[in-house]
Amino acid sequence: MAVMNKDLELVKLLVKCGAVIDQRAVGDFFRPEDQRQVNKAAITDYRYPLAFACCVGSAEIYDFLLSCGAHPDSKDQFGNSVLHMLVIHNNTEIYRLAVKHHKKPANPKLTNSAGLNPISLAAKLGRKDVFNEIIDLSSSEMWRFANITCKVYPLTGVDTIGQSGRTDWNSAFMYIINGPPTSTWTCLSRASLTSCCTRSGRNTPGFLQRLLMLTIHIIIMSAAIYLRPLKSSSDTSATSSSLESDNSSLTTTASSVASTTTAAAAAVTISTQEVFRYVFECITVVNSLVTLFMHIDEVREQGVLDFLRGLVS
């Protein structure tokens, strides 16, 4: 309660009297509001005093608790460290202080119980200010000339491809793409991140290639289906007309000549359609096999579960 009230003198007095710095807050009062009605029988030991100092934005109490032995990487019941709490409360000043602290800097790569690091949590919650702060703190300045600065931004925790080469489903880009529009446009409003997305799209033209292949595949398959022969009643009508023409030999001869000419023309037409249909069907089968082999390579690289998850998303 002394930390919540930002009373530094009372905090110093309690520590002097033997208060445990690493003691978690106990009781339903300190429980997050979204968890109070979920499971009332759960454990009620939650955040550390250092986390509460970050929540209220008290830099003096934060420095004092660190000097007394508190650690910024200590996690609560949900696996949230100090940096996770600062992201939730969108506090950029204390976040910079925690990461750049001269004694005990916080680790920005820690993940909570949901597998989220601070930058992915900021992208998921749509915290624009702290998201941009994390990007700035992770950058490295290469050179500076007058008012022109060249910086390098690491993609760890940002790009959809992790360090192991597999898909990182908890990356910042993944939450920006699949998240609500407010989260997407809020986090992508930064010029450097927008430029990174644009260049990444230019360097991976696989989507356009597959879209073109799929369009051609649909057109060829549709042509093969439309060129299939329809069931006709010409044979039945020809049989009935031949039975009725037995009374006159001249009529029979004329009708046979006409039917022969018509049948020959029809045979030429049908044979041409069949040639095109066979060609289109062969192309469709070959294209399907090529697509299947491409998917087999993706399954081999990504794994079955990641591949199926990518198809669903």
**Cβ atoms 80, 112 nearer than 8 A:** yes
Q: What pLDDT is stored for residue 257 in this prediction?
A: 45
Angle between helices 118-125 and 128-138 (to 10 degrees): 150
Q: Following DSSP, what letter does each residue of 226-272 receive, concatenated?
A: HTSPPP--HHHHHHHHHHHGGG-HHHHHHHHHHHHHHHHHHHHHHHH
Using CA atoms of 72, 75, 81, 85 in order, give the dihedral in degrees to the nearest 10. Answer: -120
Residue (of 54, 63, 141) closest to 92 by Cα position: 54
**Cβ atoms 291, 213 nearer than 8 A:** yes
152: β partners? 140
Report helix, strand or coil for 45.
strand
Residue type for position 33: E
Count Cα atoms within 13 angstroms, Cβ side, for 178. 14
Q: What angle do CA 189, 192, 196 make, to 5 degrees?
A: 105
The H or E element spanning position 89 is none
Q: What pLDDT is stored for residue 269 in this prediction?
A: 52
Residue (of 154, 166, 66) closest to 109 by Cα position: 154
Using CA atoms of 263, 264, 269, 270 in order, give the dihedral in degrees to the nearest 10. Answer: 60
Name the token pair of 286. 């070959």
The phi and psi torsions of 142 (rounded to 5 degrees) equal -90, -50
pTM to 2 decimals?
0.61
pLDDT tens digit at each of 313 positions of the chain: 788 778 888 888 888 888 878 777 765 656 666 555 555 545 555 678 888 888 888 888 888 888 888 888 888 888 888 999 899 888 889 899 999 988 889 988 888 888 888 888 888 888 888 888 888 888 888 888 888 888 887 777 777 777 676 777 777 777 777 666 555 445 555 555 555 555 555 555 566 777 888 888 899 889 888 888 776 544 445 444 554 555 444 444 445 545 555 544 444 555 787 888 888 889 989 888 888 887 787 777 767 776 776 666 5
Helix, strand, coil distribution of the chain in percent, nearest 5: 60, 5, 35
Count Cα atoms within 13 angstroms, Cβ side, for 199. 7
Angle between helices 92-99 and 128-138 (to 10 degrees): 20
The phi and psi torsions of 161 (rounded to 5 degrees) equal -100, 120
SS3 of 101-164: the string is: CCCCCCCCCCCCCCCCCHHHHHHHHCCHHHHHHHHHHHCEEEEEECCEEEEECCCCCCCCECCC
The fold of the 1-114 domain, in CATH, is 1.25.40
Q: What pLDDT is stored for residue 219 in this prediction?
A: 92
The phi and psi torsions of 140 (rounded to 5 degrees) equal -125, 130
Domain ranges (residues) in the chain: 1-114, 115-204, 206-227+252-312
**Cβ atoms 135, 192 nearer than 8 A:** yes
